[in-house]
Amino acid sequence: METLKEKVITNTFLPRDTIDGAGVRLKRVFGGHYTAPVTDPFLLLDHFGSDKPEEYLAGFPWHPHRGIETVTYLLEGKVLHEDSEGHKGTIYPNDLQWMTAGSGIFHQEMPRPLDQKDTREMLKNVGLPTSSVGFQLWVNLPSSQKMKVPVYRDIKGQTTPVVKLGDGTSVKIIAGEFQGTEGSFANTGITDIAYLDVVMVPESEFTYIPRKGYTSIIYVVGGSPSVGYPEPMQLRQNAAYVFSRERDAVKIRTEDDKARFILLSGRPIEEPVYWYGPIVMNTREQIEEAYRDLQNGTFVREKEPVFL
């Protein structure tokens, strides 16, 4: 059997502290015109997290999106969300909200700490933590799908498949496939991506084989895992690493400590990106059209987006 060739790290992104929404402090791991060609089809990754409610309670009030998908994955706290057509809900730790903005929608996401009612509902007996921690990922849409009907999907943590490896490592499959197990979000042909949450035990090795030519990225949430090719390299917590599209496999190792990271892999779209605020299209003219729609009150083309 032919030996798998390890992929090489080609780019490293160190997050920068920023304020977004109405005043939420977060770490922007990557995002913007300059990073988009490197991380294609992924546009932006934010890591929000604080145990100080004043740093996140202002939230992300009503704002528009067009031309992308947004994926919110919550680790701690809760997020109240609502769209312009009256769909609303709450996601809790380990839950996700996957929104295909398509032709255009307004929504808001408001992080909150858990309260006593939440802890009873979730059978928690650990007091009332004040933290709100999670990730928001933006995924680009190809030009043929940028104006599709918006779709909302709430994905509950307890329904997300987890694969346990022989050494004790666990792999939560949010999207895509790993070792024959399909994730919670089945790719529909709109975007073809994998999204894994991997928790490694000490002295273990994790191997992921993406499809040929795909972009693969890991973001280290905890611990100090390493790669071994072309020479040993320890990875930093709260840093993202982009792997070469050539060669076969992403291989991550641990020594004395456990580690946690999210892994993203997707087929590059390789189309022009014209980006302004929360709207990502292919041309300046399309952005100008979107802002005319906002001014004219015609931004939401589909009055009944799909809610799954």
Residues in the chain: 308
Look at residues 87, 304, 198 and name the one whose alpha carbon lies nearest to residue 97.
Answer: 87
pLDDT tens for the chain, 308 residues: list them.
Answer: 468 899 999 999 999 999 988 888 999 999 999 999 999 999 999 999 888 888 888 888 999 999 999 999 999 888 988 887 777 888 898 999 888 899 999 989 988 888 766 655 554 444 555 677 899 999 999 999 999 988 888 888 888 999 999 889 999 999 999 998 888 776 555 568 999 999 999 999 999 999 999 999 999 999 999 998 888 899 999 999 999 999 899 999 999 999 999 999 999 999 999 999 999 999 999 999 999 999 999 998 866 555 44
The count of other CB atoms within 10 Å of the CB of residue 89 is 14
Would you say residue 82 lies in a domain?
Answer: yes
Q: What is the DSSP string of 252-290?
A: EE-SSS-EEEEEEEE-------EEETTEEESSHHHHHHH
The one-letter amino acid at 231: E
d(CA 142, CA 8): 27
Would you say residue 2 lies in a domain?
Answer: no
Structure tokens at 201: 């035990």
Question: In sequence order, what are the beta bridge partners of 64?
Answer: 106
Q: What is the CATH number of the domain that holds 63?
A: 2.60.120.10
d(CA 224, CA 227): 10
Question: In sequence order, what are the beta bridge partners of 74?
Answer: 134
Q: How far is CA 16 from CA 11, 33, 238, 239, in A?
A: 16, 16, 10, 10
d(CA 95, CA 72): 8
pLDDT, tens digit, 9 for 90 and up, residues 17-45: 999 888 889 999 999 999 999 999 999 99
User: Would the pTM count as exceeding 0.85?
Assistant: yes
Would you say residue 152 lies in a domain?
Answer: yes
Would you say residue 208 lies in a domain?
Answer: yes
Would you say residue 248 lies in a domain?
Answer: yes
The total number of structural domains that make up the chain: 1
Q: E strand or H helix at 61, and its extent?
A: strand 60-65
Would you say residue 3 lies in a domain?
Answer: no
Q: E strand or H helix at 37, and its extent?
A: helix 36-39
For residue 184, the 8-state DSSP code is: S
Q: How far is CA 135 from the centre of its chain?
A: 6
Cite the DSSP H helix spans in 97-217. 116-121
Q: E strand or H helix at 221, and its extent?
A: strand 215-222
**Which structural domain, as residue segments, surrounds residue 83?**
9-301
pLDDT, tens digit, 9 for 90 and up, residues 45-85: 999 988 888 888 888 899 999 999 999 999 988 898 888 77
**Vertex 47 angle, CA 94 and 56, to 5°:** 90
